């Protein structure tokens, strides 16, 4: 798979800005959508269910700017091996991926480790708006 150096660098750069006082699990994310790059970090809350992941915050930033077509994702955690997006984030990413077989998700960490998948590999047979009644 082709790695996106710009996305990886930007995900790494924003990781330290995450708000993770409870888990101490800082996550940075950069997404390429409609040809532009958007960043996000995880934002925790004492009421755990209202925490928001870095991937969903990056998607929200893209949507706010008018971008709706997901092309690639880089996620940075300090885990070894680097962590993939959670299930909820995978579903949100799928919402904006016209073809999940070509959207690359790369997980990196500050030590230089990386893993890559297509979105289709991470979320096979995903549910989408195509299944909803017209």
Whole-angstrom distance, CA of residue 4 vs CA of residue 99:
18
Query: How high is the pLDDT of residue 128?
Result: 84
Q: Let me know if residue 15 belongs to a domain.
A: yes
Q: Which helix (H) or strand (E) holds 44?
A: none
Q: Let me know if residue 128 belongs to a domain.
A: no
Query: How high is the pLDDT of residue 130?
Result: 81
**In which domain, by residue range, is 11 found?**
5-120
Q: Let me know if residue 72 belongs to a domain.
A: yes
39, 55, 71, 113: the active-site residue = 55
pTM of the model: 0.95
Nearest to 57 by CA among 25, 89, 26, 87: 89
Whole-angstrom distance, CA of residue 31 vs CA of residue 85:
12
Residues 6+ apart with CB under 8 A from 84: 75, 105, 107, 115, 117, 122
Say how many domains are in the chain.
Answer: 1
- pLDDT in tens for each of the 134 residues of the chain? 678 999 999 999 999 999 999 999 999 999 999 999 999 999 999 999 999 999 999 999 999 999 999 999 999 999 999 999 999 999 999 999 999 999 999 999 999 999 999 999 999 988 888 888 88
Q: Let me know if residue 133 belongs to a domain.
A: no
Q: Let me know if residue 29 belongs to a domain.
A: yes
Query: How high is the pLDDT of residue 126?
Result: 87
Greatest alpha-carbon pair distance for the chain in Å reads 48
Query: How high is the pLDDT of residue 132?
Result: 87
Q: Let me know if residue 130 belongs to a domain.
A: no
55 a catalytic residue: yes
Residues 6+ apart with CB under 8 A from 35: 67, 71
CATH code for position 27: 3.40.140.10
Q: Let me know if residue 127 belongs to a domain.
A: no
Q: Let me know if residue 126 belongs to a domain.
A: no
Whole-angstrom distance, CA of residue 36 vs CA of residue 4:
13
Query: How high is the pLDDT of residue 65?
Result: 98
Query: How high is the pLDDT of residue 129?
Result: 82
Task: Kindly state the DSSP code that residue 19 receives in the 8-state scheme.
Answer: B
């Amino acid at each position: 798979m082709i790695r996106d150096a710009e996305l990886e660098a930007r995900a790494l750069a924003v990781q330290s800005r995450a708000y993770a006082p409870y888990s101490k699990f800082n996550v940075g994310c950069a997404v390429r959508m409609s040809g532009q790059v958007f960043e996000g970090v995880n934002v925790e809350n004492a009421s755990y269910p209202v925490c928001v992941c870095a991937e969903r915050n990056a998607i929200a930033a893209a949507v706010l700017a008018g971008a709706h077509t997901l092309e690639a994702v880089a996620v940075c955690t300090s885990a070894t091996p680097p962590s993939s997006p959670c299930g909820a984030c995978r579903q949100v990413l799928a919402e904006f991926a016209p073809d999940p077989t070509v959207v690359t998700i790369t997980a990196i960490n500050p030590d230089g480790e990386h893993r890559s998948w297509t979105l289709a590999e991470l979320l096979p047979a995903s549910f989408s708006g195509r299944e909803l009644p017209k």
